[in-house]
Amino acid sequence: MAAIYAIAAFLMTLAGGAFAFRYRQYLLYIMAFSSGLLIGVAFLDLMPEIVDIARVHSMNVRSLMVVVICGFVAIFLLEKLTIIHSEKGHDAPGHHHNVGVAGAIGLSFHSFLDGLAIGVGFQAGTEVGFVVLIAVLAHDFADGLNTVTFMLATRNSVWRTGALLTVDALAPVAGALVASLFDIEPRFLAYQLSFFAGFLLYLGASDLLPHVHERPRFVLIASTLAGLLTSAAVVYGLQALHAHG
């Protein structure tokens, strides 16, 4: 049942990607918005979730924060080593292709976790499942948009970008199927979320936000703030819905 509901996340991811494809002339503004959205989701959604899981299961929060740093450093090293390797083998421009793929794969992993969340939510109860589904739909439009943004910003072909978008869109369905087959241990999930929070922070703060600094226009700054406000509206709106539900 959860995998069927996850098809809505599949469609929402494709919609986000289609938006980025259609309005490529506004890519810089989309990147500014995405940077705010990614940073906001990391701090307002993932971090509090990590702390809640740690408190409920008597886990050391500091150790989880170390994992957050590990996630940040891992994507930093992956990006830098990829660039160094590419520069040694290629003199022509466009050697950042693999960095875009790495970012898109990271977002696909996020979508996979979203699918896991849908499956776990419906295991806990129909009402909880629907609340989680609403949150995932809100996130996955941005995931599809960010996948295309990363790929196009690093000069990948339209074909490769479409392929990675399809992978990203299928990821939540796969996650929901996996969740229906296995019982997910909360402690393991806490470490997964911690690592990915660091991953998200790097992608938003280091890969996307610098483009706003390159051209410090008021509209770009406003787009970044709009991304932050959107993430806050989604997170706190869903919390309010859950509290009254």
Using one digit for the tens of pLDDT, what is the confidence trace for 142-196? 677 767 876 776 676 778 778 888 888 888 888 888 877 877 677 887 887 788 7
**Which tokens sit at 200?**
């998200």
Q: Residue 245 and residue 239: Cα distance in Å, rounded?
A: 10
Q: Residue 170 and residue 69: Cα distance in Å, rounded?
A: 28
Computed from CA positions of residues 14, 18, 24, 29, in that sequence, does the dihedral angle turn out positive or negative? negative
Query: What letter does residue 96 receive in the DSSP assignment?
Result: T
Model pLDDT, residue 64: 94
Q: Residue 47 and residue 117: Cα distance in Å, rounded?
A: 15
Query: What letter does residue 93 receive in the DSSP assignment?
Result: S
The count of other CB atoms within 10 Å of the CB of residue 158 is: 12
The parent domain of residue 100 ranges over 2-244
Model pLDDT, residue 139: 63
Name every residue whose Cβ is closer than 8 Å to that of residue 151 and which is 6 or more positions away in sequence: 100, 101, 103, 104, 160, 161, 164, 165
The mean-pLDDT minimum among 6-10, 86-90, 98-102 falls in: 86-90
Q: What is the mean pLDDT of residues 7-18?
A: 85
Q: Residue 168 and residue 104: Cα distance in Å, rounded?
A: 8
Helix (H) or strand (E) holding 166: helix 158-181
Per-residue model confidence as pLDDT tens digits over 220-236: 889 889 989 988 887 78
Crossing angle for the helix pair 2-22 and 158-181, to the nearest 10 degrees: 160
Per-residue model confidence as pLDDT tens digits over 23-59: 767 777 877 887 888 888 789 888 888 898 889 889 9
Give me the number of domains the chain comprises: 1
Q: Residue 161 and residue 103: Cα distance in Å, rounded?
A: 12
Model pLDDT, residue 161: 78
Instruction: For residue 216, name the pLDDT band (cuts at 50, 70, 90).
Output: low
Q: Residue 117 and residue 194: Cα distance in Å, rounded?
A: 15
**Which tokens sit at 146?**
């960010």
**Which tokens sit at 24?**
């490529």
Per-residue model confidence as pLDDT tens digits over 116-136: 777 766 765 565 567 567 667
Query: CB of 190 within 8 A of CB of 66?
Result: no
Model pLDDT, residue 124: 54
Per-residue model confidence as pLDDT tens digits over 96-107: 445 456 656 666
Query: CB of 165 within 8 A of CB of 111?
Result: no
Share of the chain above pLDDT 70, in %: 71
